[in-house]
Amino acid sequence: MPLAFPLALIFSLVFGVMAWLLPAFKVAAALVGIAAIVTVIRKPLWGLLLFAVIATFLPYTTVEVGIRTTVSEALIMLVWASLMAQALFGQTGPRSQRLPTERLLIAFMLFSVFPFIIGLIVIKADGNGPVNWVRWLFNLSTLFLVPRLLDTRQAREQMIIGILLGTLAMLLLSIPVYLKNGTASSITPILESLGYSSTEAVEKGLASFNSRMGSTWMHPNVTGGALAMLLPLAACFGLTRKGWPRALGLAVTLLGGLGLLMTGSRGALLSLAVVLLWMASRKVPYTGRVLMTALVLGALTLVLYPPLQERVLALFSSNDASTSVRFDEYANFPEAMARYPFGIGFKVDPPVPDSGLYGISNLWLNYVYKLGVLGMLFFCAVIWSWWKHSRPQTKSLILTHDNAIWLGCTSGVMAALVSGLFDHYFSFTTVLIALFWLFLGLSLREAKRLAAAPAQPQTPAGSQP
């Protein structure tokens, strides 16, 4: 049975009732919104591509769908709803076989039921555990959308372009606002007008980071982590494409590097440096030039940009508050493990209110805090399985048009995991982890495609075939 007929019947009845009961302006606005929803239901790939743009440009713009959630997460939910509707009417094609990493992630998601229930029982604090848990599961589910919707090279190319367009829009908004006002909180009035909620609390939280660049990701360290994951993909894509996609990739690379320096996120900068050194050890073309250019531009920025000077000097200072807090968190962490051996679940984020404990600025240990040691081991198993199936099979790599998405996504996931040694944002931060698992899924599927493809003469990036 065609999906269009029942949709047309349902929405014609809805429009009739709305036109009878509501003013014309509200009916017109509802028509536009419902038309967008119907389009996504009929073409779920368009919804995923829209997610790529929104999640990188305005990740925390909110919408009311019974509960208040981000538009990015609402799009993920809508895409899954459209896939279920198509399955109901028999319009889905054959599914590809699940990879071992995907099966492990399903087991990990099922295991999370245990710490979720433990948290509801043990944690005596205000918080909506069921909603937080369901949102976390939907953020992880982007991994499974890759084989369902991004099963062709054209679809994956469109996804990368959507990610880069959203990132470019984020940089073009955030950098000028910061250069004009010089404070992280100067962007919060703009965010409020763009549908962000609780901007007063955000502005208060940014007070201690006010000399660093704010963005639509709100926190400078979250911005830095997101850029560290995105920049390798932008560089690999830009260096291997022609025309406006090449210009898009290189523009995101250059502006993203500048934005990363302005965030002052030391963990993100170090993680990106580690990935670049790994790529240089694999003899990836242009890596040496990129490292030299980054050193020169970094030195110039360090000379001309006082906030970065403060961040670098803080590395050698015994009074650096950020470093001091991290040492306190590590010293306090064994007590948190002893008090919550099975994790705190999803009702609240660390630290538990009124517990006298600290949080933890580490991706890996944050899994212990939330899901217990077994939960962290599950996560490590998923990551090891990903690396086993996605890692390079040769000592030297030639960056080509064919492998650019694989190398960019693999390097981006590596940067996120290294930055996890210094920050926890890639563990349970909504939207950001949806992008992380999307990158991981793209890396896996591209690696599988490359392994199955027949050997072909490879044309290095920048050379003529």
Q: What is the mean pLDDT of residues 414-438?
A: 94
Q: What is the mean pLDDT of residues 186-207?
A: 77
- Give the pLDDT confidence of 78-88 residue by residue, as tens digits: 999 989 888 77
Q: How confident is the model at residue 160 (pLDDT cuts 50, 70, 90)?
A: very high
Number of domains comprising the chain = 2
Contacts of 211 (CB under 8 A, 6+ apart): 182, 183, 184, 264, 306, 307, 310
Own/partner long-range contacts of 79-85 (Cβ < 8 Å, ≥24 apart) = 79/40, 79/44, 79/47, 79/48, 79/51, 79/145, 79/149, 80/138, 80/141, 80/145, 81/41, 82/40, 82/41, 82/42, 82/43, 82/44, 82/47, 83/44, 83/148, 85/3, 85/41
Burial code (b: 16+ CB inside 10 Å, e: under 16) for 52-87 equals bbbbbbbbbbbeeeeeebbbbbbbbbbbbebbebbe
Least confident of 85-89, 192-196, 399-403: 85-89
What is the overall mean pLDDT for the chain? 84
Residue owning tokens 């650019």: 404
Q: Is the model's pLDDT at 465 over the cut of 50? A: no
User: Do residues 260 and 180 both lie within one domain?
Assistant: yes
Predicted pLDDT at 230: 96
User: Do residues 175 and 44 both lie within one domain?
Assistant: no
Predicted pLDDT at 292: 74
Question: Per the domain annotation, does 465 fall within a domain?
Answer: no
- Give the pLDDT confidence of 276-297 residue by residue, as tens digits: 889 888 888 777 777 777 677 6
- Give the pLDDT confidence of 105-149 residue by residue, as tens digits: 999 999 999 999 999 999 888 888 899 999 999 999 999 999 999
- How is residue 125 written in tokens? 């604090």
User: Do residues 121 and 65 both lie within one domain?
Assistant: no
Question: Per the domain annotation, does 129 fall within a domain?
Answer: yes
Question: Per the domain annotation, does 128 fall within a domain?
Answer: yes
Predicted pLDDT at 63: 81
pTM: 0.89
Higher-confidence position of 222 and 181: 222
User: Do residues 278 and 378 both lie within one domain?
Assistant: yes
User: Do residues 261 and 362 both lie within one domain?
Assistant: yes
Q: Is the model's pLDDT at 300 over the cut of 60? A: yes
Predicted pLDDT at 205: 64
User: Do residues 75 and 171 both lie within one domain?
Assistant: no
Q: Which residues span the domain enclosing 53?
A: 4-88
Q: Which of 58, 88, 118 is the last residue of a domain?
A: 88
Name the residue among 73, 197, 67 with its Cα closest to residue 135.
73
User: Do residues 80 and 117 both lie within one domain?
Assistant: no
Higher-confidence position of 39 and 77: 77
Contact status, residue 34 vs residue 10, Cβ threshold 8 Å: no
- Give the pLDDT confidence of 317-375 residue by residue, as tens digits: 545 667 778 888 898 899 989 999 999 999 999 888 888 888 899 999 999 999 999 99
User: Do residues 282 and 224 both lie within one domain?
Assistant: yes
User: Do residues 63 and 132 both lie within one domain?
Assistant: no
Straight-line distance from the first to the last Cα atom of the chain, in angstroms, rounded to the nearest whole number: 48
User: Do residues 79 and 121 both lie within one domain?
Assistant: no
Q: How confident is the model at residue 464 (pLDDT cuts 50, 70, 90)?
A: very low
